[in-house]
Structure 1
Amino acid sequence: MNRTAVLRRPPRYRGWALAAAVLAFAVFPAAEPRAVVHKDDTFITAQTAGILTIEGGECFTDPAYSSRAGEVVVLYRPCEERADNQSYAFLHAAEGPWDRPALVSFAWDGCGRDFTRRWGSRESSGLDYYPILPTEETWADGDRDVMCAVYRPGEQLTRSMVPLLR
């Protein structure tokens, strides 16, 4: 018996294998790489529709126009269902008059310290963060909370990124 003949796939199956591979790519196309979005303290604000419904540890989408809502919104999304961001901390700013530069500094410093405590550096973790700030209008209504959000540049989250702190 010729062992080589036994180990080779019979020619009639080659066509089926090729057809199956083509069908697999048609039904399950390869994920296209996502553009790296620069997320800073203006990317989402307290006035972005939907952001005030996001609680600590919850994941959510990047802002996008919703024809149903007629405005740009963010939506809650379970982290396991390919979310764009996850809230990981809330900071409470001190009372006082609206001062955007001071608030920006407070937010980046506070979110940065918490990020480093949880994940270390941006480089080693592959993650990045940004603060979501009150606006002058929400500040006038008494909003003093800054949300810190974590994300994976160029990719979506497929699980919760928030580690348990000891």
Structure 2
Amino acid sequence: MSIPPPPSPQQPHGPYQPSQQQPPQGPYGPPAYPQGPEYQPWAQGYSPYNRPAPVNGFAITSLVLGVLCCLPGLGLVFGLIALRQIRRRGERGAGLAAGGAVLSGIGLALWALMLATGGASSFWEGVKEGAREGANSSMVKGECFDAPGGRLSGGGGVVTGVPCSGEHDGEVFASFRLRDGGYPGDESVSRTADERCYGLRDTYAMDAWAVPDDVDVYYLTPTERGWRAGDREVTCVFGNVTEGANLTGSLRNDATVLDADQVAYLRAAHILNAAVESAPEADRVEDDMRGHKAWAGRISAALDGQARSLRGHRWPGAAREPVTVLAADLDRARAEWAKAARAADADAFYRYYDTGLRLLDPRKGVPARRALGLEATPPAGGGGARDDAGDGGSDDGSGMAV
């Protein structure tokens, strides 16, 4: 309708009253009123008369399935149904339906190719393996867990984190990344993991006397398929060597749980540990005389470094005397190992070796350990225990400090 003109000065304000006189005609017939004031156009509000046509639901579904490529066959069917409904109902979404149908058709062709070549099976195996590796690689230092079937060797699967205070299958003590590049092979990866994990165990469990004799090192390494997906992580864990046996309580004893004096004592002991573990592969001196003499030289230097480190620390009153006595024993052992390093033949080497070995009796470290509040019971015969002047024995039962 038209808006009435404002009242003239002679016309009283109030509701518009049409005149009895016929209004003037415009040039084309309609009544011509004086032009009123300008108004802003109407803003669009809710009106059933300006609502756009709806988007077809099958078109949206088809596009989603086509993009995700999860059910390509269904996405193609939905796209064709959507195009038919859009033409019949006048709905929107023809572009969505067409795009979904094309993508779903491509996905369906790829799935058919994978099934024909066996690629689908490999794909799903990769997905499952990636899920396992992703779950395992999320383990962090200090976390305890249970493994599938309670086994840390010879199996995979997803581990379950549990409190360290209770029983558990394993405890993570370190992790590291392998170098980028092509996959070096299973043997190379395992060898690197073995060397690095054994080298890192002392950083987490500094006091080897506190580690039970039935505990050993295990590790989780990336597979070739995981390597192609970017996995380079090696996870090092402690576990029980007895099948079906568990760990109870955390094995962690480092600077986070030990005091400064305990850490200083154990760090001095690790100087000798590193040298002892560098022994040549040949068990018999006659098979590698040069290698054994070089090894004896490294032990002699390590004993000197250990004694210097012990003397350089300010020990609490109760530990001062036993640590001084221990340092003197290390000096005597060092002299024998130095002679072994200069031995003219195997017989001379064995003579100095035996004397130096006796001076590394693990019981010599007990008084100092007891004064410092460390574990004071030497590990049982030669189970690979380490530390101090002969803290434990070698695997050959020699009583050698490791």
Structure 1 residues 125 and 102: CA distance shift in structure 2, 3 A? same
- TM-score normalised by the chain length of structure 2: 0.26
Of 107, 120, 130, 2:218 maps to 130
- TM-score normalised by the chain length of structure 1: 0.59
Aligned residue pair count: 117
Matched, 1:74 2:159: yes
Of 159, 167, 183, 1:98 maps to 183
Deviation at 1:138, TM superposition (A): 1.3
Q: Is the 8 A contact 1:60 1:86 kept in 2?
A: yes
AA aligned opposite 2:188:
A
Matches within 5 A, 1:8-87: 48=132, 50-64=135-149, 72-87=157-172
* 1:109 corresponding residue in structure 2: 195
AA aligned opposite 1:158:
T
Q: Is the 8 A contact 2:207 2:253 kept in 1?
A: no
Matched, 1:158 2:241: no
Deviation at 1:153, TM superposition (A): 2.6
Aligned to 2:161, what secondary structure does the other structure show?
coil
Distance in structure 2 (CA, Å) of the matches to 1:64 and 1:125: 22
Structure 1 residues 61 and 112: CA distance shift in structure 2, 3 A? same
Of 139, 143, 148, 2:231 maps to 143
Aligned to 1:160, what secondary structure does the other structure show?
coil
Deviation at 1:129, TM superposition (A): 0.7
Distance in structure 1 (CA, Å) of the matches to 2:223 and 2:131: 7
Q: Is the 8 A contact 1:46 1:132 kept in 2?
A: no
Structure 1 residues 158 and 121: CA distance shift in structure 2, 3 A? closer
Deviation at 1:95, TM superposition (A): 0.9
Runs (4+) off by over 6 Å: none
Aligned to 2:162, what secondary structure does the other structure show?
coil
Structure 2 segments unaligned to the other structure (5+ residues): 1-128, 151-155, 256-262, 264-402
Distance in structure 2 (CA, Å) of the matches to 1:164 and 1:116: 9
Higher relative contact order (CA 8 A, sep 6+): 1
Structure 1 residues 163 and 47: CA distance shift in structure 2, 3 A? farther
Distance in structure 1 (CA, Å) of the matches to 2:167 and 2:174: 20
Distance in structure 2 (CA, Å) of the matches to 1:60 and 1:46: 19
Distance in structure 2 (CA, Å) of the matches to 1:116 and 1:58: 17
Aligned to 2:132, what secondary structure does the other structure show?
coil
Distance in structure 1 (CA, Å) of the matches to 2:130 and 2:208: 27
Deviation at 1:105, TM superposition (A): 1.1
Structure 1 residues 149 and 159: CA distance shift in structure 2, 3 A? same
Aligned to 1:79, what secondary structure does the other structure show?
coil
Percent of pairs with identical residues: 24
Structure 1 residues 161 and 47: CA distance shift in structure 2, 3 A? farther
Greater per-residue helix proportion: 2
AA aligned opposite 2:218:
Y
Q: Which has the larger radius of gyration?
A: 2
Distance in structure 1 (CA, Å) of the matches to 2:202 and 2:172: 15
Deviation at 1:52, TM superposition (A): 2.8
Aligned to 1:48, what secondary structure does the other structure show?
helix
Deviation at 1:150, TM superposition (A): 0.4
Which moved further from structure 2: 88-97 or 156-165?
156-165
Q: Is the 8 A contact 1:61 1:85 kept in 2?
A: yes
AA aligned opposite 1:150:
F
Distance in structure 2 (CA, Å) of the matches to 1:128 and 1:47: 27
Aligned to 1:162, what secondary structure does the other structure show?
coil
Q: Is the 8 A contact 2:145 2:162 kept in 1?
A: yes
